[in-house]
Structure formats: C-alpha cells, structure tokens
Structure 1
Amino acid sequence: MTDSSSTSYQSRHKPSSTFSSRGDYLEHELQIMAPRRWRPNLPFRDYRFEFEDLVPAMAATIGKIVMVAAVVGAFAGPLGLSQEFVIENARFEMLIAAILFVVLISGFLNPNANLAGTHGPLIPLIPLIVASGGHPMALGILIGVFGFILGITKGGSLLARLTSNGVCGGLLLYLGFIGITAQITKLYSWAESFDMAYIAFVVILCTILMYAWLEHIKMRWLAIPLGACLAAVIAFALGAPFEFTTSPSIPNLSPAYWWGEDTGWQLGLPDLQSFIAVAPFAVLAVAMWSPDFLGHRVFQQLSYPKKTDKVLMNIDDTMLSASTRQIVGSTLGGGNLASSWGTYIVPAAIARRPIPGGAILTGLLCIVAALWGYPMDLAVWPPVLSVALIVGVFLPLLEAGMQMTREGKTTQSAGIVIFSSALVNPVFGWSLTVLLDNLGLIGCKERGKELGHAGRWIIPGITFAVLCAVMAAIGMFPGIPPLLASFAHP
C-alpha cells in the first residue's frame, strides 16, 4: 500500500458518536483501513484500539495457555519430564510469541498476517513422533522451513483458491462438530472424576442459554469472556475443586539451558538422524496448515461486511509469519508447534475487528499471564477451557460451515469431505474431496471446467498422492501398519 492509502484512514475516520449504532461504526472502520504489508503500521495512524479488541485478546490468551501447555505436555510425557517443566516451558513460549511475533509482526509490520498460534491437530501424533526418535527442535525447524517454502511460493493461497465453498463448508462443519463433542466429553470426564457429573450438565446448559441470549441481542462477540466467567462461577459455586498453584516468576530464558544434556529438555542438540525421523511429520504438519488457514480466512469473509478485502487475513503472509516464529521459537528452546491462531481470529471476526489492535493487546495479556502465573491456572481449569473453546471457536465454525453449504450443489462436496475426514482425518478428507470436486465428479460440474488441467487434477492429484504417502509412512490409515516401521523391521 502507498502512504496516501495509509493516511486516508486518518482522513476517513469518524467518531463513533456520528454513527447510528456501534455496529455501523465498526463496519466503517473495517472498510476504511488500508494495512501496509511488511511496512510499519502505527496505532491511530493506521488503526485504532477499541473495547471490542479485548474480546479476541482474552480468548487468544486463554487459548494460548491451554494449547501450548498441551503441546509441551504431549512431548514431556513420553520423555519423562515433570509438570513443572511443562508450565515453565509454556510460559517461556508465551513470552517468545508475545514479544517477538504477536506484537512485532501482526501488530506493526503486517496486520494482514494472522497471529502465529499453536498447531492443535498435531498433538495426538506427538507421542508417535517421540517414539520414532523425533527431537522437538528438529521437528520445529523442519516445519518452519517447509512452511516458509510454501508461503514464499504462494502455495497456500493457491490451494485455497482450488478449494470450493462446499469443501470448505464441510470441513468447517466437521471441525466444529468434532470440537464441540470432544470438549463436552472432556468436561463430563473432569466432573465425573470427583463424582459431580451434574456440574458439567449445568455448565453446558447455562452456556447454551447464554449463547442464545447473546445471539438474540446481537452481542455474540462477548461469548468468550462472559462464557468463561459464567463457567468458572457456576463450577466453583457448585463445589468443583480449584486452587492456584503457579506463582509469579520469570521462566529461564537461556537456549543453552533448554537444549542442555542434563537441563531443560535433557536431549541436547539434534543430529542428522533426528531431522530424518521427523521429516514425514513436518510435511504433514505443513499440509494441515492450508485447510486450517483457509477456514480462518473464510470465517472472516462471512463475518465482515462488504468492501473489506484489504483487512482480510493473507494466507501466504500468515504462513511466512508462522514459519519464522516456529524456527525462532524452536531454536530458543520452546516446544510449541505453530499454526494460524484460531482462538484469536475467530472471535476477532465475530467482533468485527481487524487484526492489529487486538494483536497488541494479546501480546500484553500473554506477557502478564506468563509472568504472573496465576491466570494460567484459571485458563486451564476444565470448565473455563471447554466453554471458551466451544463458544469462541467450535460453535462459530459450525455456524460458518452451515452458512457456506446453503446454496447450490455444495452439500455434495460437504458430505464427502465430512465422510472422508471421519474415515482418516481432515487432511485426508480435504485433499481427496478437492480432487473429486475439481474433477467434476461431485459438486458443481461447471466449476472444474474453469480451472484448467493444473487446477482440475494435476495440483490436487499431486497434493493428494504426497499426503497419502506421508500418512501411510507414519501409520495414519486405520488398520494399516506404518510403512516406516515395516522398512525399519523387515
């Protein structure tokens, strides 16, 4: 963007008092913004802070604490590391994300790049990665390198363009439904662990009523903070156990400590064999980015008004940001696996706010939580965690998927992507359905004719074949043993 397009934000900005409603003011702000790509964007010159920015910032902070602790914990378990290690490394990772990337990149240098969050879908594979001889630093560096290549070649946006509304809508429906059911199951398991299962029922029922009420008064953007507070108050009032255990402190900031032979991860630095062992998992991790990033951008498009293309998340820039954050974080000693920050971008889209203002507030809240310590205990408390994820991420994804599959022949593609995702995983379902959809076997037959040979079958076919080879190698097809294990043990 040129400087004139940037200063035009100042000249076109109007006080909220000049608008008939708060919603009109927020939509106007989205329409007049002109973010500058990889150039300084300054508060009040290029964007403003609003009260609504606190909502995605709070949701993102809660989500960050939960997800980073989950990833580090998944590594720590098989490696025999303590819960204290998990908490300290998670706090270290939050400082890395907040200071170096959330504020610097998404807040100032490129407001079209979504915040670099955590790669949740990869968590179930981490025990297998460790068992295969995987090293957290080697995995993180390879994910960063592969992701940077995909971003710099604009491969992410290309795959997004080849994904129809039906495929994307079905993917959102699947992810939303699976996420909601998983959180409800976890909440019941937590309540049953101390013989008070009715607490889970009451919390979920009150959450449903709260969400319906917010929909009615058109203030759904308050769902995360209000839902988290409601869940905490109800659970505590009904006698659920809770106590603060994480005290204020500064985590160890030395990479030498984290990658020492007898300190931190107690693994030392990775060797060549470590990189070879994690290569298939790194390819799969980056392949998972495209449908994830696409879903976040589509949710923005559905939530924002018209004439707001300039403030939409750029898929390729987000990949570059997440890749850089991954390489730096892993090198410094962190255990996080990066991806697009869903618990930030979804609430931000609902609140009709652009990326930068909330990004800076997110960074500040993450720093406070990491240093203070006590908020980490509250954020990972099951009723707060589950309700925040349900109303802030999974339920909005479910609604967006329904909206995308209302018209035309999109339901055919949506049904197939849900079916095939349930068979293996969302990466398999997405890549297979994109191929079938673009070939014209399902969905809109006319759409495939406009894509050319490359878009119809060459790129989708190669993508599907490569992903299937990787998934077969590491044993992700049900009932089929890992091919790597077969080669290793003939």
Structure 2
Amino acid sequence: MSQDSASYKELHKPSHSFKTRDDYLNHELQILSVKRWRPNLPFKDYRIEWEDFIPGMAATIGKIVMVAAVVGAFAAPLGLSPEFVIENVRFELLIAAVLFVVLISGFLNPSANLAGTHGPLLPLVPLMVASGGHPMALGLLIGVLGFLLGITKGGSLLARLTSNGVCGGLLLYLGFIGITGQVKKLFEWAEGFNMGYLAFVVLIATIVMFAWLEHIKKRWLAIPLGAVMAAVIALAMGAPFEFTTSPGMPNLNPAYWWGENTGWQLGLPDWSHFVAVLPFAVLAVAMWSPDFLGQQVFQKLSYPKNSENAYMNIDDTMIAASSRQAIGSALGGGNIASSWGTYIIPASIARRPIPGGAIITGLLCVIAAIWGYPMDLAIWPPVLCVALIVGVFLPLMEAGMQMTREGKTTQSAALVVISSVLVNPVFGWSFTMLLDNLGIVGCKERALDLGKAGRWLIPGITFIVLCTVMALIGMFPGVPAIMSSFRV
C-alpha cells in the first residue's frame, strides 16, 4: 500500500520504533492526513502527545491575557468594573474552548488554526467606543466580512501575493516591537514597587535559559520552563503576588450580557452602531492575511519536509475565526477574534500538528475559567512577559531573519519595517506588497511572473481600500480622522 493512499492509523508507528523522539515527531507530521469539515478522531486520525501540553499551556496563558486586555479596553470607557471584565473573560474562555477550539480545530477541521484574539486591533478599541461602536455590532460585522473572505479564498490569495521579503520584514517588525513592549511592561511592573532590578534579573535569566535550550535542541520547553523560572525568581526576590479570583461559573445567559441594565448595559445594537464600527471591522479582517501568513510561514520553517498536510489552511482558519467571532459576540462575549498565535507558534516549535494541542487547550481553558486561580498566575507580569517573549516574539524575529537571508529580499523587508513604524503593520504590508509586486523593489523576475492581477490590480485595490479605511478612523500620523467631520 502506498503512503499516499494509506490512512494515518495504518502509517502510524510507536515512538520506540524510532531512534530519537524528534524522528517520531517528524514522522507524525509527515503522515498526518486530516479531513476538512468532517469528523477527525483522536488515535484514528491523529494522536495526543505530551508535547501538546506545551502549546496548550502557552495558548491558555495568552488567551487569558489577551481577552482580558480586549474586554478591559471596551469596559474602561463604558465605566464597567474589573469584576465585569473577569466574568466576561471566563465566559469567553468557555465559548472558545467548548464551541470552537475542541469542536472545530480538534474534530471538524484540524487544518484550521484555533480562533484566538486580535491583538493588533487592541489600541483602536477606545477609539471605536468613542465613535459610538458596540461590541456586538463589531463582532457580527467581522464575522460576516471574514467569512466572505474565507469562502472566496481571498485570504490565501493575498498570502500568495506576499513575497518572502515582505513577509520576513513584517515578522521582524512584529517580533521586535513585541519584545520591546514586553520588556517595557516588565520594568514598569517591577519599578512600581521599587524593584526595577528584579526585571533585569528575570530577563537576563530568560536569555541564558533560551540560549541553553537552543544549545540542547529543546526550545519547545521555553514557555513552561521560562514561566516557572520567572515566577520562582520573582517570588524568591520578594515580588508581591496573591490569588484573588475564586472558583465559579460565569453567567451563560446572552440576555444578561446584552441587557439594558445588566452585563454590558448597552442593549442590542441598532443600525447606527453598525455604521460606526464598519471601518474598524474592515481593518480587522484586512489584518488577518499578513498575520495568518506569518504563522503559516513559521510552520513551514519549523516542520520537516513533506509535512504540507499539517500546515494551517489560511482560508479555513478565516472561516473558523469569523464563525467564532459572530457566535461569541451574539452570546455576549467581548473578544475580537483572529488566528491564535500563542498556540500555533509554540506548536510549530514543539513540532506538533494542530488537533492534539487543540484538545489540551480546550481542557485547560475550561479548567482556568472554572477554577479561577490560574487566571491570576497567567496574567502576573513576570510569567506573562517571559512566556510571550520566548514563545512568540523571539521565534517571530528568528523566522523573519531566515526569510530575508536569500535572494533580493532585504529591500522589501526594510521598507516593510519603515512603513510599519510610520503608520502600522497593515499599511507597511499593503504598501510594500504593492511596490514589491510592481518590481520597484525586491525580485523583479518574480514580479514579471505574477500577471496584471497579481502585479498591480489586487495589491493596488487592497492598498487603496485599507488607506481609505485608515483615513476614516484617523490612523495616519498628523492627519485628522475623516469620520470626525461627520460627527454632530
């Protein structure tokens, strides 16, 4: 029987039949053959290994932190309490775990990455609320627009039109900005109780640990080991910490969350709310393509050859994320969905496919939501910052460097970084993609092979639409928002 026609169950071999654990994990990736939008069962179509706990832990920590940040950004200008934020985060963890992480990425379509949280849109949330936005209206619009882009395969098309130079530059920028942001947050936390040197000690220890793990080829241990190390050092040096979130269940009634005097205290949205959030919804969905592409590229760089069936499908991930967004918002959640970067990057490092870790992530999210106490530890600055640095941002920088080592990629990469610093990563990606595909920068031979649609039509339309949206909501430095002139 040929390998192409054999099933995963027939091709699977026990780990003891391989010389090393790495050989076994590589073989698991190479024989994976999941079914799209049909049932996939553990041990029949894939296996759950102890390495799956690595991305599961990282994803759970990242989920708690990011959802708390998004819901908190909505809640602050609305005058809602910290208790409301914790309650909604617990609700969102259950929605993500039960309805989408386990159901879609674990069983129905393991080619779709887990639906996580849209971090890059976080700074725009206060502006969205000030513009008269409504969390449900935003969620439903993102769901509709993202679903349309997914089913028309627009996401994968934009990914194919993005060169290695453009993508590599984007990864370098996101990785560097992420690292500097986490370092700043850690020092701000430590200086808050006059122990700034604690942050320095934790970060130096993190660098040494990461280098040692790289030396012994065990980088997939960076997140759990780094989180534990940071917590132990911080506690040993006298950093303040206490558990405050007690066990319990959040309110599961959508009518409570969208009541006039309960939950969000906003009621249901009307047409004006949808108009107010439309530019933000367009921008959120436009951000997905470069974000998803970077995550898929990281898989390609981390997995062995002939592992194509284990790669995340960009269009399927868009469909999953948009469905999760629409349903989660309708139920009462405040999350803004995207592909789950704090899951897929550690999973790539650990050389694990999507489904096994998805099951673990779902279980850990349910435990954290009901138990409560793990939420306090996950958002404690030394644990959070170190986990994000070693599990997400350092690997992103490394992947960006690998993508810009060969060919005429450095020009495009540099322009992405400069343009992203000037405005934001969406502008940097769309602007440089247009210049790169026209052959003005980068590899001119590649540009000639794209055809008219790939060279200027699709990149040009994408750039114009995104610039229009960003001008409407005031994202160009020094340029007033066009929408402000229409407000009464």
- Distance in 2 between the 1:144 and 1:117 partners? 14
- Distance in 2 between the 1:459 and 1:105 partners? 31
Partner of 1:325: 324
The answer to whether the 8 A contact 1:35-1:310 is kept is: yes
The answer to whether the 8 A contact 1:7-1:46 is kept is: no
Say which SS state the counterpart of residue 246 (structure 1) adopts: coil
Report Cα offsets for 1:113-147 as digits up to 9, x if no partner. 00000000011000000000000000000001000
Q: Summarize the alignment of residues 10-409 of structure 1 with structure 2, pairs less than 5 Å apart.
A: 10-409=9-408
The answer to whether the 8 A contact 1:106-1:115 is kept is: yes
The answer to whether the 8 A contact 1:6-1:36 is kept is: no
- Distance in 1 between the 2:83 and 2:5 partners? 47
Say which SS state the counterpart of residue 261 (structure 1) adopts: coil
Pairwise CA distance, 1:12: 1.1
Say which SS state the counterpart of residue 483 (structure 2) adopts: helix
- Distance in 2 between the 1:13 and 1:156 partners? 33
Partner of 2:413: 414
Percent of aligned pairs sharing the same letter: 77
- Distance in 2 between the 1:184 and 1:464 partners? 33
The answer to whether the 8 A contact 1:258-1:264 is kept is: yes
Say which SS state the counterpart of residue 393 (structure 1) adopts: helix
Pairwise CA distance, 1:10: 1.2
Say which SS state the counterpart of residue 190 (structure 1) adopts: helix
- Unmatched 5+ stretches in structure 2: none
Pairwise CA distance, 1:7: 5.7
- Distance in 1 between the 2:143 and 2:236 partners? 45
Say which SS state the counterpart of residue 431 (structure 1) adopts: helix
- Distance in 2 between the 1:269 and 1:249 partners? 27
Report Cα offsets for 1:436-455 as digits up to 9, x if no partner. 00000000000011000000
- Distance in 1 between the 2:182 and 2:298 partners? 21
The answer to whether the 8 A contact 1:36-1:111 is kept is: yes
RMSD: 0.9
Pairwise CA distance, 1:426: 0.1
- Distance in 1 between the 2:455 and 2:5 partners? 39
Opposite residue 482 of structure 1, the aligned amino acid is A
Report Cα offsets for 1:360-389 as digits up to 9, x if no partner. 000000000000000000000000000000
The answer to whether the 8 A contact 1:69-1:90 is kept is: yes
Opposite residue 102 of structure 1, the aligned amino acid is V
- Distance in 1 between the 2:95 and 2:4 partners? 32
- Distance in 1 between the 2:480 and 2:111 partners? 42
Opposite residue 376 of structure 2, the aligned amino acid is D
Partner of 1:436: 435
Pairwise CA distance, 1:101: 0.2
Ranges of 4+ aligned residues in structure 1 off by more than 4 Å: 4-7
The answer to whether the 8 A contact 1:6-1:34 is kept is: no
Report Cα offsets for 1:179-235 as digits up to 9, x if no partner. 000000000000001100011000000000000000000000000000000000100
Pairwise CA distance, 1:487: 2.9
Q: Does 1:427 pair with 2:442?
A: no
Pairwise CA distance, 1:11: 1.3
Say which SS state the counterpart of residue 458 (structure 1) adopts: helix
